[in-house]
Structure 1
Amino acid sequence: MNHAVVREIVRFLASGLINTGVTYAIYLALLSKAGYAIAYTVAYLIGIALSYLLSTRFVFRVNHSARRAVIFPVVYLIQYLFGLTVLHASVTWLGIPEAFAALVSTVLSIPLTFVLSRLVLVNGHAQRKTAP
């Protein structure tokens, strides 16, 4: 693995921590007012917008484009379906408390999200920003 990809992975993990912290706080805030699936969905949608901004500017350092902005949510649709399945299995079959099950879902989806995000934002696109 080359150094550029390793740096992207490190930046991806850092941005993911920020995004996870924000969306988990939103999830917990909503959990008292709605069921876990609705709380997860709302927090997840907010996280998509934050992730796009962090991924284009900080992680992969690519220019924003309408095409990327339209395609990027597909990454998160796939991750959402995966995450909701893991969330449901964690709560229903494994008995993990709802407040922690979202974290299990997030951790298990990290590799999938990195690969899909990189495919959408970097592969096949020559509009990379110059690194600071």
Structure 2
Amino acid sequence: MRRIITFAAVGAVNTGVYYGLYLLLRLVVPYLVAHVVAFVLAMVGSYFLNCRFTFRTKPSLRTFLLFPLSNATNFVITSVGLYLLVDLWHMNQQVSPLIAAAAAIPITYIVAKYILSEKQTGKQTEKQTVT
């Protein structure tokens, strides 16, 4: 339960970072470009926050390179959602990213948990088997 609460808190911070960057970038580039750049930058921050606080694991090049997989589904859902909300349903460009991001949270957690805790799970299994 602690992990889910912490993941949600990290997600809230990550969403704030993403949203702030999105709004700033939208002033100089089209909204989808702003979305992509803000998403990538926020994802890097999310990796380190989730390693430290949610899964309490040491960052590594391997997990850093795998972590974007946890966000691939998130990216697709938020990108398609943003497009649908803005272009098809004519919703506000400033509110739409928040709605699209909320829809992607559960899947992102499941994949992040697998990637960032896989190594620890293996170590725990080895220790239990040896003992």
- Which TM-score band applies after superposition, normalised by the shorter structure? 0.7 to 0.9
1:39 to 29, 34, 40: 34
Deviations 1:42-77 (A, max 9, x none): 100101110100110001111222211111112222
Q: Tell me the residue number matched to 2:81.
A: 86
Alignment partners' CA distance in 1, 2:65 and 2:20: 26
Alignment partners' CA distance in 1, 2:21 and 2:12: 14
User: If the length of structure 1 is used for normalisation, what is the TM-score?
Assistant: 0.86
Q: In structure 1, the residue corresponding to 2:57 is in which secondary structure?
A: coil
Deviation of the 1:124 alpha carbon: 5.0
Contact 2:77-2:103 at 8 Å conserved across structures: no
Aligned CA RMSD, in angstroms, stands at 1.5
| Structure 2 residue 17 is the aligned partner of structure 1 residue 18 | no
| Structure 2 residue 102 is the aligned partner of structure 1 residue 107 | yes
Q: In structure 2, the residue corresponding to 1:118 is in which secondary structure?
A: helix
Deviations 1:87-117 (A, max 9, x none): 1111122221111111111111111111110
Query: Which region of structure 1 is more displaced relative to structure 2, 19-28 or 70-79?
Result: 70-79
Q: Which has the higher contact order (CA 8 A, sep 6+)?
A: 1
Residues 108-123 of structure 1 aligned to structure 2 (within 5 Å): 108-123=103-118
Structure 2: unaligned runs, 5 residues or longer = 125-131
Q: Tell me the residue number matched to 2:129.
A: none
State the structure with more CA Rg.
Answer: 2
Structure 1: unaligned runs, 5 residues or longer = 1-5
Alignment partners' CA distance in 1, 2:60 and 2:119: 13
